[in-house]
């Protein structure tokens, strides 16, 4: 009944190649966009923005990025936290004006970038760092690559803790996002309106998702998937592994960097690298794409939503409604997330995205499955 | 059926949501994670004191008290989530007990007009009320702690530290980095050599740090640690046979949990404190009668009398007195967060007041003003007696070196003010 192609005729190639070729699917997508862009900004408040929507949007970008690398290109990475830190610290440096020193003297200082371009620069710098740490992937694979990216994670956190230039020599070693606006609307700082920060993050999320979707179904995505499925075969049919792997690292790190920049500047406002971008963050994003679905754009969103909403939902039900002690609920959360990861790996290795695909198939035939 | 479920949900919400007329003191606690050893006793003490006020006096000024708890796990993201979710319940004052979360909340509470108390933690320069209008850190702060520790070492060494080596073992975070500036200044003033030894979160692995200490042989070690890091450090110090009476922890590194694991070897370990130790106070009789024996203790109820539990009691007492002050100033019993801020700024703690509350000789006297949000910086030294298994106060409450601390506070707060375009709040 739903998701039927019947009566939906493509008369041009463009029609045939669009992201959502089925009319029902397309309209559902427009409705989601409409609600996200037009409805939510009018009903959102501080709690919804800071507890659910901002973390969801930001983690969704990170999950998209990691999914390109792990899900599409098959290169396992445990460095997501470190790459998010690169995004956050570059964003901070660009929004406060990058100062270049040479032997104790200030050579020059860039002007302060607008917050929008600071976030973009966060992505660009992370892409460069990502390519650098992606170079070993040409020689090492699988577990060994995972360990190499793990090294990146620890090295980057150490670097941002150690070199005072990155946090502008502040006494606490923290970076604090100063108040910045875009077109007169405050985006960072404590006095922001929830709708402004929400729309700012939503914009980046939508753009990243559209880019990711189109890249993964275009030539570059096919190359990534060829490398993922069998790199020697891919090389024989003419895929350049150097370019394919490095572009995957670059695009993936770009997204992760954007999410790190937003995470610091818009969502938290103040960040301590070891605490915010530790190995825990790398695992969290990895869990998101495993639960959501490897190699699926929708899966990145589903996984991010799941892991952001689950603790909050558990807390609301357990503490606020049932009146359980807070520590029991916190421990329960760990148990449930851990259990779910095991269950998903065994029962549904393709994650929530696969469940959704199956549901779509069922809906297509429903209510007459024969 | 649907209708029934809906009403059930609404009824559940009504029962659980705070009734607006009460005074709400949210507790951003952490009973899980590597810092739970400190988080649990503090949260228990904080909740028990308010339970006592409810049971014995019927709240503060006739208004009952609610203490909604939210688990942060010492994690800044969860801290922000907790703050946002509790904000709707009308929280009067926040005490996050985490420097990371404090940094996160300083701009937020200022924008939302809610006060925050960070006794002995948080951003030290928040003492300057001209810049930090909504943040309080009385009665003492990190830099006071560093200075009092050095004063204690000066006493031990007969007033001369030239040529001595002092190492700082610190939690490699905003918290642990706080005393570095002060100690650097103090090392210039007193001529000792200062070494930094960072320990990364959460601090379960400190072999290399203590190897470094064994090699460098510092005369004293000062520690700014928290959670599991403390126990590991004390154990490692015992392992390398570092003289425990030359090992001094800040007040967050001086609880029973930190030393019990190391057994007899930890005997003589010292830690600072800004309030007294033990349970020999009239208040404890009331607590026993109205809370412990009535089965109303928070948590497992096994923390009474420990150092951090006492700190929870003290923290609750300070904000309860501030609420009372606010009620007096504004002449209403049902105060708002904004009125609570005025109460905190007018708070005066005298020995007489403390004695009336059942806590004689418990903490220093101080008076908060618009310019000074941080008290006078008095702290004392305690020492662990492994045989009796208790902390003993071994010095008087002494004031920190204001010549060193105050200029640093002025400098740091001025930097914050210029970064954020803050005008003088008191002018």
pLDDT digits (tens, 9 = 90+) for A269-299: 888 888 889 898 999 999 999 999 898 999 9
Model confidence pLDDT, tens digit, residues A135-173: 988 888 888 999 999 999 999 999 998 888 998 888 778
Q: Is the pLDDT score of B22 beyond 50? A: yes
Is the predicted pLDDT of residue A257 greater than 90, yes or no?
yes
Question: Given CB atoms, is A173 within the 8 Å cutoff of chain B?
Answer: yes
Domain edges within chain A:
44-278
Q: pLDDT band at B21, cuts 50/70/90?
A: low
Given a contact cutoff of 8 angstroms between Cβ atoms, the answer to whether B85 and A51 are in contact is: yes
Taking all residues of chain A, what is their mean pLDDT, rounded to a whole number? Answer: 89
Distance, in Å, from the CA atom of B255 to the CA atom of B308, rounded to the nearest integer, reads: 6
Q: What is the ipTM of this complex?
A: 0.84
pLDDT digits (tens, 9 = 90+) for A36-56: 999 999 988 888 888 889 999
Whether residue B298 contacts residue B51, with contact meaning beta carbons closer than 8 Å, is answered with yes
Q: How many CB atoms lie within 10 A of CB B253?
A: 29
Closest by Cα among B117, B75, B111 to B92: B117
Residue of B98, B186, B108, B392 lying closest to A269 (CA atoms): B108
pLDDT for the residue numbered B19: 46
Residue contact A321–B85, C-beta within 8 A: no
Best residue of B174, B203, B413 to probe chain A, by most A CBs closer than 10 Å: B174
Q: Cα(A275)–Cα(A279) distance, rounded to whole angstroms?
A: 9
Q: Where are the beta strands (DSSP E) in B157-214?
A: 165-171, 193-199
**Residues sharing a CB contact under 8 Å with residue A272, sequence separation 6 or more, in sequence order:** A172, A173, A174, B76, B100, B103, B173, B174
Confidence at residue B315, expressed as pLDDT on a 0 to 100 scale: 93
Has residue A130 got a pLDDT over 60?
yes
Cα B24 from Cα B41, distance rounded (Å)? 20
3-state secondary structure of B329: helix
Percentage of residues in chain B with pLDDT exceeding 70? Answer: 95
Q: How much is the pLDDT for B379?
A: 92
pLDDT of amino acid B11: 42
Provide the pLDDT confidence category of residue A177 given band limits of 50, 70 and 90. Answer: confident
CB contact set of A156 (below 8 Å; sequence gap of 6+): A79, A82, A83, A85, A86, A129, A277
Cβ contact B253:B145 at 8 Å: no
CA A226 from centre of chain: 23
Q: Which residues contact A251 (CB under 8 A, 6 or more apart)?
A: A65, A68, A127, A212, A215, A220
Chain A residue numbers with beta carbons less than 8 Å from the beta carbon of B88 are 47
> Which superfamily is assigned to B2-141+278-377 in CATH?
Response regulator (3.40.50.2300)
* Residue B335 to residues B135, B206, B330, Cα–Cα distance (Å): 18, 48, 8
Q: Which two tokens stand for residue A191?
A: 């006095």
The strand pair at B348-349 and B247-249 is best described as unpaired
Residue with tokens 């603790």: A311
pLDDT for position B14: 42
Q: From CA A25, how far away is CA B96, in angstroms rounded?
A: 46
SS3 percent helix, strand, coil of chain A, rounded to 5, is 70, 5, 25
Interval B73-85: pLDDT, tens: 888 888 888 898 8
For residue B6, is pLDDT > 60?
Answer: no
Query: What would the pLDDT profile of B29-66 be if each residue is shown by its tens digit?
Result: 999 888 999 999 999 999 999 999 999 999 898 899 99
The tokens for B55 are 């049971």
A46–B87 C-beta distance less than 8 A: yes
Phi, psi for residue B169 in degrees, rounded to 5: -95, 115
- Partners of A276 on chain B (C-beta within 8 Å) are 76-77
> DSSP state, B91?
B
Q: B337-345 vs B307-330: helix axis angle to the nearest 10?
A: 100
Among B178, B144, B149, residue whose Cα is nearest residue B166: B149
Pair of tokens at residue B201: 């979160």
Phi and psi torsions of B74, nearest 5°: 65, 25
pLDDT exceeds 90 at position B325: yes
Secondary structure of residue B374 in the 3-state scheme: coil
- Of B77, B76, B72, B68, nearest to B47 by C-alpha is B68
Q: Is B69 part of the contact surface with chain A (CB cutoff 8 Å)?
A: yes
Neighboring chain B residues of A270 at a CB cutoff of 8 Å: 76, 103-104, 107
Of A197-201, B100-104, B418-422, least confident by mean pLDDT is B418-422
Is 70 exceeded by the pLDDT of residue B8? no
CA proximity to B69, closest of B105, B30, B108:
B30
Token pair recorded at residue B154: 């000066």
- Chain CA centroid to CA A196, Å: 20
Domain ranges of chain B: 2-141+278-377, 142-275+379-407
Smallest Cβ–Cβ distance between B110 and the set A190, A269, A327 belongs to A190
Q: State mean pLDDT over B200-207.
A: 88
CATH superfamily of B142-275+379-407: Response regulator (3.40.50.2300)
In this predicted structure, the answer to whether residue B345 has a pLDDT above a threshold of 70 is yes
How does pLDDT run across B234-245, given as a tens digit for each residue? 999 999 999 999
Instruction: Give alpha helix (H) positions in B288-336.
Output: 307-330
CA distance A311 to chain B (A): 10
Whether the per-residue pLDDT at B13 is higher than 80: the answer is no
Chain A residues with CB under 8 Å of B85 CB are 47, 51, 315
A319:B70 CB<8 A? yes
Q: What is the DSSP string of B107-132?
A: HHHHHHT--EE-TT-S-GGGGBTTT-
CA dist., res. A188 & res. B416, Å (int):
16
CB neighbourhood size of A163 (10 A): 10
The pTM of the full predicted model, rounded to 2 decimals, is 0.89
Among A132, A131, A96, A93, residue whose Cα is nearest residue A260? A93
Q: pLDDT of B270-310, one tens digit each?
A: 999 999 998 889 999 999 999 999 988 888 888 888 999 99
For chain A, the residue count is 370
Nearest to residue A286, comparing CAs of A256, A316, A262, A327?
A256
Q: Which of A90-104, B11-25, B152-166 has the lowest mean pLDDT?
A: B11-25
Rounded Cα distance, B237 and B116, in Å: 36
> Could you report the per-residue pLDDT of A14-40, keeping only the tens digit for each?
888 888 888 888 888 999 999 999 999
């Amino acid at each position: 009944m739903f998701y039927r192609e019947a009566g939906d005729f493509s008369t041009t190639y463009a029609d045939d190649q669009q992201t959502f070729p089925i009319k029902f699917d397309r309209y559902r997508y427009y409705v989601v966009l409409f609600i996200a862009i037009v409805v939510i900004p009018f009903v959102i408040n501080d709690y919804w923005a800071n507890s659910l929507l901002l973390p969801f949007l930001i983690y969704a970008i990170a999950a998209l990025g990691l999914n390109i690398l792990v899900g599409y290109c098959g290169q396992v990475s445990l460095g997501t936290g470190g790459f998010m830190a690169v995004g956050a610290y570059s964003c901070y440096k660009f929004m406060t004006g990058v100062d270049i020193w040479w032997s104790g003297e200030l050579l020059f200082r860039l002007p302060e970038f607008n917050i929008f371009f600071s976030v973009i620069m966060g992505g660009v710098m992370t892409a460069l760092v990502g390519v650098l740490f992606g170079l070993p992937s040409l020689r090492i694979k699988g577990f060994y690559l995972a360990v190499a990216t793990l090294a990146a994670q620890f090295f980057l956190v150490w670097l941002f803790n150690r070199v005072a230039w990155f946090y502008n020599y502040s006494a606490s070693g923290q970076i604090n996002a100063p108040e910045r606006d875009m077109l007169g609307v405050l985006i960072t700082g404590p006095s922001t309106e929830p709708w402004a920060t929400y729309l700012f993050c939503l914009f980046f999320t939508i753009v990243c998702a559209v880019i990711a979707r189109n890249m993964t179904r275009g030539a570059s995505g096919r190359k990534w998937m060829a490398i993922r499925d069998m790199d020697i075969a891919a090389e024989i049919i003419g895929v350049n592994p150097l370019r394919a792997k490095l572009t995957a690292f670059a695009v993936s790190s770009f997204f992760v960097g954007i999410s790190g920049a937003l995470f610091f500047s818009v969502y938290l406002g103040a960040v301590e690298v070891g605490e915010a971008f530790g190995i825990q963050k790398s695992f969290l994003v990895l869990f998101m794409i495993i639960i959501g679905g490897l190699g699926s754009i929708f899966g990145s969103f589903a996984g991010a939503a799941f892991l952001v909403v689950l603790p909050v939902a558990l807390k609301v039900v357990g503490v606020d409604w049932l009146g359980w002690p807070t520590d029991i609920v916190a421990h329960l959360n760990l148990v449930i997330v851990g259990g779910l990861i095991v269950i998903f790996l065994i029962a549904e290795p393709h994650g929530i995205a696969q469940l959704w695909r199956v549901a779509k198939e069922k809906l297509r035939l429903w209510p007459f499955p024969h | 059926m649907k209708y029934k479920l809906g009403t059930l949900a609404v009824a559940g919400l009504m029962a659980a949501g705070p009734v607006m007329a009460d005074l709400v003191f949210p507790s951003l606690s952490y009973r899980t994670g590597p810092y739970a050893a400190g988080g649990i006793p503090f949260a228990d003490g904080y909740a028990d004191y308010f339970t006592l006020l409810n049971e014995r006096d019927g709240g503060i000024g006739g208004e009952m008290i609610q203490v909604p708890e939210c688990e942060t796990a010492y994690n800044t993201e969860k801290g922000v989530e907790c703050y946002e979710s509790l904000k709707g319940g009308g929280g009067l004052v926040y005490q996050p007990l985490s420097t990371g979360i404090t940094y996160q909340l300083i701009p937020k509470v200022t924008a939302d007009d809610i006060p925050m108390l960070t006794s002995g933690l948080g951003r030290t320069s928040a003492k300057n009320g001209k810049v930090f209008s909504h943040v309080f850190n009385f009665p003492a702060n990190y830099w006071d702690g560093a200075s009092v520790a050095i004063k204690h070492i000066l006493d031990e060494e007969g007033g001369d530290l030239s040529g001595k080596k002092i190492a700082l073992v610190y939690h490699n975070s905003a918290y642990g980095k706080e005393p570095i500036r002060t100690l650097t200044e103090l090392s210039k003033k007193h001529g000792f050599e200062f070494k930094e030894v960072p320990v990364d979160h959460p601090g379960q692995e400190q072999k290399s740090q203590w190897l470094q200490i064994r090699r460098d042989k510092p005369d004293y070690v000062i520690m700014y640690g928290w959670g599991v890091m403390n126990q590991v450090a004390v154990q490692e110090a015992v392992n390398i046979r570092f003289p425990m009476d030359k090992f001094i922890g800040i007040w967050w590194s001086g609880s029973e949990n930190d030393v019990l694991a190391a057994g007899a070897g930890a005997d003589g370990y010292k830690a600072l404190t800004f309030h007294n130790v033990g349970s020999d106070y009239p208040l404890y009789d009331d607590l026993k009668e109205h809370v412990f024996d009535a089965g109303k203790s928070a948590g497992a109820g096994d923390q009474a009398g420990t150092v951090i539990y006492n700190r929870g009691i003290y923290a609750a007492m300070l904000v309860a007195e501030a609420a009372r002050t606010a009620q007096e100033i504004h002449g209403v019993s049902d105060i708002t967060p904004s009125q609570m801020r005025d109460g905190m700024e007018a708070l005066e703690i005298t020995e007489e007041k403390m004695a009336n509350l059942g806590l004689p000789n418990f903490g220093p006297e101080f008076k908060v003003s618009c310019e000074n949000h941080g008290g006078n910086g008095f702290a004392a030294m305690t020492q662990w007696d492994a045989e009796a298994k208790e902390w003993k106060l071994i010095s008087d409450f002494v004031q920190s070196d204001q010549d060193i601390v105050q200029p640093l506070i002025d400098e740091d707060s001025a930097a914050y003010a210029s970064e954020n375009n803050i005008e003088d709040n008191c002018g």
